[in-house]
A and B are shown apart, each in its own frame.
Chain A
Amino acid sequence: MTTTLTPPEEKSSEAVPPQRAKPKLPFKYRLSRWDVKASPYVYIAPFFILFGLVGLFPLGYTFVVSLNKWNLLTGPGGFVGLSNYVAELNDPFFWNSLFNTVSIFLLSAVPQLIIAVVIAAVLDQNIRGKTFWRMSVLIPYVVTPVAVTLIFSSAFDEKYGAINNLLQFFHLNPIMWKTETFPSHIAIATMVNWRWTGYNALILLAAMQAVPRDIYESAALDGAGAIRRFFSMTLPSIRPTMIFVIITATVGGLQIFTEPKLFNPTTATPGGPQRQYQTTVLYLWDLAFNRQNFGKASAVAWLLFLIIVLFGLLNFLISRRIASTEARSSKRKTAKRLAAYNQNKIS
């Protein structure tokens, strides 16, 4: 049974079915063979066609635009080669935006990971109402980035904002959340952290639960306390997951836009009066839609694209190293987790 079905599939191209099939085989059989051969392609076709049109073609065309002078309103203005790239690589604003992006990313990734590990460790215990507590840490995730920013941007207001009011109540100096570089990065990282920590905690929780319980049992019997067990057993076993949380957070973090865009709408320069928190995607948007320079904005898009691909390669290398120490299945799971992140983290 199986043999009658599979061979034609595999040989399909080398075999010469038309000669044999033409006169003798009944129409139904031919149809069925055609069905078997073509169906796989038909099923993947919509994805590849659409992806080509809306995913790959625009990226390619971005490169074309980046080689031209190109105005938002008046259109193309002549081929300029790589000069947009040269200009951007020499533009302090570009580097400023990269610095801001990386800084905000670090300020969000590190505390987020630590708190997420703590939350996951707490959730990993044999608590009552597991589902309720697990769901409760995910509540911030359903508040959209726009709403998160509106909420926190009000709380972080320099004059009479909730947080500065509190600081002043305790006779501390108000912090210039919206006009100084470091505080503004903290403020934006806080928004990212608030929304994503619970989400990451659940991923880490899943990794913790994958650790066999009997290992803990025997360690406990050997007299290892809870803290000791956590540091010497739990943490090492979830390390791969943590690495992926970090790396995948980077890919999302490099494209942060909503929070800095809406953080302080009163400034004419998106990303703060001195571009204190102008991230690269926000810079790209400013270049394209405020300063009308599609050419340079496209160059920035490609530079950012290359940086993200660089991180992707880094990711690949690390996952290969982990794969050598881990079971083969974990490679798939990490790749999948990475994918899930890329999908969800772009905000």
Chain B
Amino acid sequence: MTTLTLKKRKPLGIDRRPGFLTYGLLIVFFIGGTYPLYWSFIAGSSPSSVLTETWPPLLPGGLFWQNVGQVIDTVPFWMSLLNSVIVSTVITISVVLFSTLAGYSFAKLKFRGREGLLVFVIATLAVPTQLGIIPLFMVMKQFGWTGTLGAVIIPTLVTAFGVFFMRQYLVDVIPEELIEAARVDGANMISTFWHVGIPAARPAMAILGLFTFMTAWTDYLWPLLVVPQNPTLQVALSQLQSAKYVDYSIVLAGAVLATIPLLILFILAGRQLVSGIMAGAVKG
């Protein structure tokens, strides 16, 4: 007690190390954020009767791989995982590439109509283009693309957000002189873009890519409509729930299993995700 109050009083500044309360709260948040996932793992590794008990066990059971086996038996897990990887990767590459190109153009090149077109991009940020699913659905059917991964990919090949994001980033980070110097050296436009624009844009491209990948990966409504027989991971996962004999320990094993890819991504790129979210808030 005394030591605590002493500690508290000593540094008047705000950069003192915080007390137990802070760490207590952090642990509460941590548990709140992870327990549902852990609970799913417990349930997913136990017989389903565990789910109806008042106090679920504290430790996972031994049936996880058996339940995972049933998940794979019930839905085309590996195919849908591959589908999701393909879909998310293609969308990410496309969005990052086209956004960087257009963002660079808006940020650093001068051309007639630039301001107007930029306002147009900003205006469309708030436009919920996903409400266009009905005609998109009809068009996909018309072209016979339904049931293919292309139908999932095409509607999100570009986003206004990506263009705006890259523009905002590039407008500050590339000094005009750098571009001019490149031009003086005789570089044409595309090689200037390649040698000056891209290197400068790389951090923003990584962040945009990360979020685009996440968004594509988590999308559910549109893939549900266009590739039912050939599902993405999210659609396959949801099918677990309406498969015959809904055994919730299997459903939850599936939920855990389907979370693993993003958890890996999170472990690898979690710092960038955090700084990306925070950068979106302060920078630019």
Contact = CB atoms under 8 A, between A and B. Distances in A.
- Direct touching of A and B (C-beta under 8 Å): yes
A304 B130 CA distance: 11
Contacts of B39: 151, 155, 162
Nearest to A338: B125
B14 A216 contact: yes
Contacts of B54: 165-166, 168-169
B101 interface: yes
B258 A144 contact: yes
B126 A54 contact: no
B33 A198 contact: yes
A154 B162 CA distance: 36
Contacts of A94: none
Given A143-B262, A144-B262, A203-B281, A160 B220 contact: no
Contact of A162 (B33, B51, B262): B51
B277 A202 contact: yes
Given A62-B131, A206-B277, A342-B125, 11 more contacts: A54-B129, A58-B132, A134-B274, A151-B37, A165-B53, A169-B54, A203-B281, A213-B15, A309-B127, A339-B165, A346-B128
B280 A340 contact: yes
A122 B128 contact: no
Given A138-B274, A151-B40, A209-B282, A315 B126 contact: yes
B22 A160 contact: no
B64 interface: no
B26 interface: yes
A335 B220 contact: no
Contacts of A6: 110
Interface of A is mostly: helix
21 contacts: A6-B110, A35-B188, A35-B189, A39-B105, A39-B190, A43-B109, A44-B102, A46-B102, A46-B158, A58-B132, A122-B22, A126-B16, A143-B37, A144-B234, A169-B54, A217-B14, A241-B281, A297-B134, A336-B165, A346-B130, A347-B218
A146 B130 CA distance: 18
The 10 A-B residue pairs whose C-beta atoms are closest, nearest first, are: A58-B132, A312-B126, A206-B281, A39-B189, A61-B135, A40-B111, A43-B105, A206-B278, A160-B52, A40-B109
A76 to B, nearest CB: 10
Contacts of B277: 138, 199, 202-203, 206, 340
Contacts of B225: 289
Contacts of A309: 126-127
Contacts of B161: 339-340, 342-343
Interface in B10-55: 12-18, 22-23, 25-26, 29-30, 32-34, 36-37, 39-40, 43, 51-55
A162 B56 contact: yes
Contacts of B36: 140, 148, 151-152, 155, 194
Interface string A127-170: 11001011111111111111110111111000010100110110
A56 B160 CA distance: 11
Interface of B: 12-18, 22-23, 25-26, 29-30, 32-34, 36-37, 39-40, 43, 51-56, 98-99, 101-102, 104-106, 109-112, 114, 117, 122, 124-136, 138-139, 154-165, 168, 180, 183-184, 188-190, 193, 211-212, 214-215, 217-218, 220-221, 225, 234, 237-238, 240-242, 246, 248, 251-252, 254-256, 258-259, 262-263, 265-266, 270-271, 273-274, 277-284
B282 A206 contact: yes
A173 interface: no
B155 A54 contact: yes
A344 B215 contact: yes
A125 interface: yes
Contacts of A47: 98-99, 101-102, 158, 163
Q: Which of B37, B104, B117 lies at the interface centre, i.e. has the most chain A CB atoms within 10 A of its CB? A: B37
Contacts of A305: 127-128, 131
Given A126-B16, A162-B39, A139 B33 contact: yes
A146 B134 CA distance: 22
A318 to B, nearest CB: 13
A320 interface: no
A128 B102 CA distance: 41
Interface in A159-217: 160, 162, 165-166, 168-169, 194, 198-199, 202-207, 209-210, 213, 216-217
Contacts of B111: 9, 37, 40-41
Nearest to B37: A143
A118 B102 CA distance: 39
Nearest to B218: A144
Contacts of B18: 125-127
A80 to B, nearest CB: 16
Nearest to B16: A126
Given A135-B270, A297-B134, A146 B165 contact: no
A128 B220 CA distance: 38
B180 A5 contact: yes
A141 B163 CA distance: 24
A95 interface: no
B234 A146 contact: yes
Contact of B252 (A131, A154, A199): A154
A51 to B, nearest CB: 5
A140 B33 contact: yes
Nearest to B189: A39
Contacts of A308: 126-128
Contact of B51 (A139, A160, A265): A160
Contacts of A35: 188-190
A36 B111 CA distance: 9
A168 B225 CA distance: 40
Contacts of A213: 14-15
B210 to A, nearest CB: 11
